[in-house]
A and B are shown apart, each in its own frame.
Chain A
Amino acid sequence: MLRFEKRDKTPVRLRVLVPICSVLLGLLVGSIVMLFARVNPVRVYGAIVKGAFGSAYTFSETLVIAVPLILISAGLCLVYRMKFFNIGAKGQYIIGAICGSYLALFGPATMSRPLLLTLMMLLGTLGGALWAVIPALLKVYWNVNEVIATLLLNYIASYILWFFMYGTWRDPGSHGFPLSKNFALNAQLPRIIAAPSRLHIGLFFGVAAAVIVWIIIRKTRFGYEARVLGENERAARYAGINVVKTVIIGAVISGGLAGLAGIAHTSAVLRVLQLEINSDYGYTAIIAAWLAGLDPLVAIGVSVLLAALEAGGYQIQIVMRVPFGIVGVIESSILFCLLAGEIITHYRVTLTRRLSTPLALDERARGGA
């Protein structure tokens, strides 16, 4: 029988080893799934690495995907620490993209580029924050389950986008396709490397956001309160921490960053609002945050890694006709292993000889109550 003893402190080597082993095991599960479909995993992984890091261009495309992941996961690191399980980054990303695009499509055409872009990013951030505040309010005042609420809001946001793209925002010249008209130059967030690379200044937003959130978590009173709240809500209340305020601010930050990711990606990479704006990054970012142990700086690196998997995943779909679904299998398997591995980081696990004992005997044996 296994016996678990709670650890006071997790050794650093475990905190590094568990995520690394999780990634390796996730790739192994991916291989097994591929073998069942008679697909050669070695070739697929080779193609993924080549598709993600093969050239300066492909690496810059990997970073294009990493940008929204870094932005979103930074916010998630904060709210997950307070155990507010916002899984609505997808919806917040979409609403952010819609709000910011409104200015791009219908704003004053003569506005200077820096001003218009600043306003677009602000509006996008605000939209995402608003979309996250709704479930946060429902949670703190009425105890509505935030997982279900944020998830339903993802679907609702998708249909709002659909509503606009098949409605008044569709470009009359798009031949019926659900596309807006192209963003004018002054509504396009600048790219930072020469074409064809689409890497844009959102990368700096992402890194800055990660650093700021790291400082908030580590160095501020608010961050401390967020951590206490996550560990023990009752203790947090006794300590006089304002739970309502903490959760709402957390939701504003995490939703805002997801909204910013949405509008930055739309404005810089797509340069048009359309039905498919890669909003599933909202789910991938959850894995990034968790894999990073809820540390926003570590999440930068993890985001690049997951972005490589996604960028490579698009490549293998085009070049080798291997369905993109395999990326989801690998990502979720990594997450499974990570969650399973927490038993080792949280507990000291030992094998005991006695098989299964009644509770009373068990407690007496340990000299307990």
Chain B
Amino acid sequence: MNPTFGTILIKVLAGAIQSGTILLLPTLGEVLTERSGVLNLGLEGLMLIGAFFGFLGAIKTGNPYIGLLLGMVAAGAAAAIHAFICVTLRGNQTVTGLALTIFGAGLTSFYGDHWVSQRLTTAIKPMAIPGLSQIPVVGPILFSQDLIVYAGYILVALFWFLLFKTKVGVNLRAVGENAKAADAMGINVAGTRYFWTILGGALAGAGGAYITCCIHPYWLNGITSGKGWIAVALVVFAMWNPFNALVGGFLFGSIEAMQLQLQAGGTYINSALLSMLPYVTTFAVIIVATLIVRVRHVGTPKELGIPYAREEK
């Protein structure tokens, strides 16, 4: 193999893992939220809130990790609005999620106006894992990344184990499959839904903050450019399984990285068509994934989007 081609490919794939992590975190969070029966379509808004408050925290404290944390807290708080309206007040989950997206976009462009184009001086930096990063090919792609990417790997394993191998996971799935039965078993339906909605929101915020605290360490209005919606679609692709979320996230990360590489390489392909590529692919994937889910009857929590009302039959 041509050595220069090899190094370029490794660089592109390493970039794909980074872009993939932006999508993985919100997708993972939404997998859990939807498993509990709550549909949160506001990921795009939550990612923007995470991205802006992450940036703000990082620029004020000089520490991008504190920024990331602030982004998560802010997005988690915004997700609590969704939980309150959808769980306690039984509001329409589709429209509430949409309101959340408009809210996130409006709020961050209002407060963010002052910060447009300002850059962070210290962003999150890669930390190669000693030993593992020395493995040829795999090392530089998977193990010469930053802490957030590693956290992504760990969360996938952790949530998969939690969801399918623990009591907590059984309860969580029970609430999303049949809230009435879960209630009869003594599980706190509302509490479960609140918890996973807020946690999912915090993870969406982490995805957004990862953009501004690491990958593009500056603020622009609408910096997430639809990634939240791609994440919503990826949940269907993942069939509500954390491990598949990893596959989906990195697959779409590759498309993003490839598209950027092609644009930077000055190919003759029209840049509008290249920028459209992730959305077209997502559109195709959501159709195929829906068909597969239909045939195999897997994944979709039965009571997704349906509020639980104890007094109703």
Contact = CB atoms under 8 A, between A and B. Distances in A.
B5 to A, nearest CB: 30
Interface majority SS on B: helix, strand, loop or mixed? helix
Given A153-B283, A156-B283, A286-B98, A162 B275 contact: yes
Residue from A4, A159, A343 whose CB has the most chain B CB atoms within 10 Å: A159
A5 B287 CA distance: 39
B273 interface: yes
B287 A163 contact: no
Interface in A114-168: 138, 142-145, 147-149, 151-153, 155-156, 159-160, 162-163, 166-167
B229 A333 contact: no
Contacts of A225: none
B110 A362 contact: no
B132 to A, nearest CB: 37
B279 A162 contact: no
Interface string B209-224: 0000000000001000
Interface string A339-363: 1101100110000000000111010
A328 interface: yes
Interface residues of A, number: 56
A335 B95 contact: yes
B41 A147 contact: yes
Contacts of B92: 339, 342
A163 B103 contact: no
Given A162-B272, A290-B95, A326-B106, A152 B290 contact: no
B109 interface: yes
Contacts of A366: 311
Contacts of B186: 358
A339 B99 contact: yes
Nearest to A135: B283
A5 B107 CA distance: 36
B233 A152 contact: yes
Contacts of B99: 287, 332, 335-336, 339
Contacts of A36: 111
Contacts, number: 154
Interface in A265-288: 283, 286-287
A47 to B, nearest CB: 15
A327 interface: yes
Contacts of A143: 290, 294
A339 B41 CA distance: 15
A324 interface: yes
A31 to B, nearest CB: 13
Nearest to B39: A147
Contact of B107 (A147, A149, A325, A335): A325
The 8 closest A-B pairs by CB, nearest first: A328-B106, A325-B110, A325-B109, A332-B103, A159-B276, A323-B113, A163-B272, A339-B91
18 contacts: A5-B311, A6-B312, A142-B290, A148-B232, A155-B226, A166-B271, A167-B272, A323-B110, A323-B113, A325-B107, A325-B108, A325-B221, A328-B106, A335-B95, A339-B85, A339-B95, A343-B89, A359-B184
Given A325-B107, A342-B91, 7 more contacts: A142-B290, A144-B287, A163-B270, A286-B98, A323-B113, A325-B110, A336-B99
